[in-house]
Amino acid sequence: MIGGTVTEAPQARASAAAIHAALDSPQAHDELALQRARAFAEPLLAGERLDTGEPALDHADGVAAILQRIGATAELRACAYLVYAVGFLARPRESIAKAFGEALADVALETHKLIQLQRQARLRAQPAQPGAPASELDRAQTENVRKMLLAFSRDLRVVLLRLASRLQTLRYHAAVKQPPPRVVASEAMHVFAPLANRLGIWQLKWELEDLAFRFLEPQTYKEIARLLDEKRAERESVVEQVRQRLERELRALGLDVQVQGRPKHIVSIVKKMRGKGLAFDQVYDLRALRVIVDTVEACYRVLAWVHEHFTPLPEEFDDYIARPKPNGYQSLHTVVRDEQGRTFEIQIRTRAMHEHAEHGVAAHWAYKEAGTKGYAGVTAASSYDAKIAVLRQLLAWQRDLSGMAHGLFDDTIYVFTPQAAIVELPKGATPVDFAYAVHTDLGHRCRGARVDGQMVPLNTPLSTGQTVEIIAAKEGGPSRDWLNPEAGYLVSHRAKAKVRAWFNHLAAQENIARGREQVERLLQREGNRTTSLEALAEALGFDTPEGLFEAVGKEAITLRAVEQALAPPPAAAAEPAPLVVKKARPAAARAGDVLVVGVGSLMTTLARCCKPAPPDDIRGFVTRGKGVSVHRADCPDFAALAARQPHRVIDVAWAAAPSDGPHGPVYAVDVGVQAQDRQGLLRDISEAFAREKINVVGVQTQTVKDTAWMTFTVEVSDASRVARVMAVLADVPGVLKVWRR
């Protein structure tokens, strides 16, 4: 003290500055958040138990400890407490966001939602009867859990919290010596452990597998554990001798090495025994060592020394440094024998490789808020490559379990029903797509939708993790607007197909009604009351009358074809020759003018729908009870019949006419004319027929909006005369079009 003034020593000032700097550091801030989170949750969780029976606060403590073991930050460990506090807060988002920020509130609520959904799905998966097969339930539930994890895996923090939670649940059941529900252990073995493997977090992977196996196959687990314990002391003594030798002699080479024994995982032993058909004593990695060095070059130097001083088994060597595993794992694996013939598995890796092998993506990922540029609020601690590595592992895990070829984040979303069922949809899908994915009838009756409790338009694109509720009418069908691509109501091909099928069915019913009316009117006009509709449909090649009505209604078959089927068949010729019957005056040709190729005498009928005449190219169709119906090759009715029943098509040809004179055969042919209606039109057309010496035996005319439509039935000896008269008719003033019907 000088002059009554206290002077602070420089050392004291420096210490105070260091203390303040330490308190202001991000690490100190995170640790404070962890302490605050536990203090926040403790009064809420005290005395509460989870559905497994474990005290809720103890479970949160265990999850936080597991996360610390794999290198997670204090901030993520804080989430372990907030997740379980959510269920005891009236307004969890507001309360947690106010105390810990929006980022931690989002993680806590998303994880809590995932826990609730998995619990509901697990309850639904319980067998209705105690004797229900467990394997089927296991498969159904593990598939649900897989989809749920995929739905929430855009935030890796949620995934890691669930991994740690499931491991803590298994640890609790092992400690109290009470097996968990089988589906819980099955999820751990078939979903959580493979996910930890894909993310490279070996610590979690092995422990999840061993604990799950302990509950799923207790007898096998106990047997392997017994075999491991029987010669444990002898085996550990041998391993320790080799460990000391390796460490001593490798250091003598100037290498900075760490040699350690490798823990024995029962699931790994069982997999090797079952996969290779080995006995317990034949499993190589019962005696296992791990050598950790500084550089890749040192890895290969160690490998060379090991192979020089022990006898290697070449078929058991794997170079995962040159060819890393899909999850990024790198190491050299070799199996060698010592002088006594005992086998050892030796793994050689760098310290960086070892860190990745133990902690996986957790070793390269910082769980910090990163704004809009981060991966769902998470950014890579070191580089962009670390972020990509995590995404790749999640996608690879998806392909491992589901076999799907498409990327999770490219073209697929996962949304939930109000009952927590998961629905997989294409990216951009809407509530209408969702409704059709749940049930076709629900899609047809869809009239509105709530997404996460809020009413939204039906063309709103959905996102992964949303809960969708459909508001449906009691009856009704889809809107035609849903098929308009610009309106954006439908994305999935399945939903579009269902809507089209609905309207196609409506169109089919309209065609059936229209066709039924036309056929019944035709039967009344013909005075036919004896022919049954079933027989008429069968004669035309249809299985049911409705099929015939639909074809008539959509004009796939004409009423002329129906008339032909109704007409009684002409009497068959008594003898095959002569095939042409001559009369004193020209008469209409008969079916005897046609030969069925390769067949003897058969009854034939010239089709009234197309009225063939030589030298038209013709085809035959075998009818039921009326012989062979002969059509022009270009007849649309014949094309429709042949498409439905091609096996009834038969080759036919014209018989050679004995003569072409006044007593030769003639054929009825229809000629259609379209013309501008005017006075004297019919007279001019009739004169053209007369000049060509064509006999007109029938005329049908109709005028619509000053356009005349006329059909002339004429008799000709061959179709070439029809072509000549059609050319003459085309020159008649006002004629717009002439064609052969």
The answer to whether residues 666 and 589 touch, using CB atoms and an 8 Å cutoff, is yes
Across 229-253, average pLDDT: 84
Pairing of strands 288-293, 343-350: parallel
Angstrom distance (rounded) from CA 535 to CA 544? 9
Q: Domain 408-491 is of which CATH architecture?
A: Roll (3.10)
The more confidently predicted of residues 64 and 140 is 64
The answer to whether residues 669 and 740 touch, using CB atoms and an 8 Å cutoff, is yes
The answer to whether residues 588 and 697 touch, using CB atoms and an 8 Å cutoff, is no
Angstrom distance (rounded) from CA 643 to CA 175? 73
The answer to whether residues 185 and 406 touch, using CB atoms and an 8 Å cutoff, is no
Q: Quote the crossing angle between the two packed helices 156-176 and 74-85, to the nearest 10°.
A: 70
Say which DSSP state 285 is in: G
Angstrom distance (rounded) from CA 673 to CA 696? 14
The answer to whether residues 379 and 373 touch, using CB atoms and an 8 Å cutoff, is yes
Angstrom distance (rounded) from CA 379 to CA 368? 7
Residue 514: per-residue pLDDT: 87
Q: How confident is the model at residue 447 (pLDDT cuts 50, 70, 90)?
A: very high
Residue 1: per-residue pLDDT: 35
Residue 387: per-residue pLDDT: 45
- Does position 402 have pLDDT exceeding 50, yes or no? no
Burial of 261 per CB tally in 10 Å (0-12, 13-18, 19+): middle
pLDDT in tens, 319-363: 999 998 876 789 999 989 888 888 888 999 999 888 877 766 554
Angle at 326 between CA 322 and CA 330, to 5 degrees: 40
What is the percent of the chain with per-residue pLDDT over 70, rounded to a whole number? 75
Q: 35-49, 207-221, 559-573, 691-705 — which is least confidently predicted? A: 559-573
- Does position 553 have pLDDT exceeding 50, yes or no? yes
Q: 126-135, 448-457, 553-562, 636-645 — which is least confidently predicted? A: 126-135
Residue 569: per-residue pLDDT: 54
- Does position 663 have pLDDT exceeding 70, yes or no? no
- Does position 403 have pLDDT exceeding 50, yes or no? no
Burial of 37 per CB tally in 10 Å (0-12, 13-18, 19+): buried
| Domain ranges for the chain | 22-125+134-205, 227-363, 408-491, 667-740
Angstrom distance (rounded) from CA 634 to CA 671? 15
Q: 71-75, 264-268, 304-308, 312-316 — which is least confidently predicted? A: 264-268
User: Which one of 221-225, 480-484, 614-618 scores highest in mean pLDDT?
Assistant: 480-484
Angstrom distance (rounded) from CA 185 to CA 321? 33
The answer to whether residues 455 and 448 touch, using CB atoms and an 8 Å cutoff, is yes
Residue 633: per-residue pLDDT: 87
Q: How confident is the model at residue 125 (pLDDT cuts 50, 70, 90)?
A: low
Q: Which helix (H) or strand (E) element contains residue 622?
A: strand 618-622
- Does position 13 have pLDDT exceeding 70, yes or no? no
pLDDT in tens, 69-123: 887 888 889 999 999 999 888 889 899 999 898 888 988 988 888 887 777 666 6
Residue 563: per-residue pLDDT: 77
| pTM for this prediction | 0.51
End-to-end CA gap in the chain: 127
Q: Which fold has domain 227-363?
A: Beta Polymerase; domain 2 (3.30.460)
Q: 159-173, 346-360, 636-650, 655-669 — which is least confidently predicted? A: 655-669
Residue 73: per-residue pLDDT: 80
Q: Domain 22-125+134-205 is of which CATH architecture?
A: Orthogonal Bundle (1.10)
Residue 720: per-residue pLDDT: 80
Q: How confident is the model at residue 132 (pLDDT cuts 50, 70, 90)?
A: very low
Residue 420: per-residue pLDDT: 61
Q: Which fold has domain 667-740?
A: Alpha-Beta Plaits (3.30.70)
Residue 404: per-residue pLDDT: 38
Q: Which residues pair with 557 in a beta bridge?
A: none
Cβ count within 10 A of residue 590:
18
pLDDT in tens, 138-184: 565 566 676 667 666 656 788 889 999 999 999 999 999 999 988 88
Nearest to residue 633, comparing CAs of 655, 653, 603?
653
Q: Which residues pair with 55 in a beta bridge?
A: 49
Angstrom distance (rounded) from CA 388 to CA 404? 20
Domains 227-363 and 667-740 share a fold: no
Q: How confident is the model at residue 298 (pLDDT cuts 50, 70, 90)?
A: very high
Residue 675, helix vs strand vs coil: strand
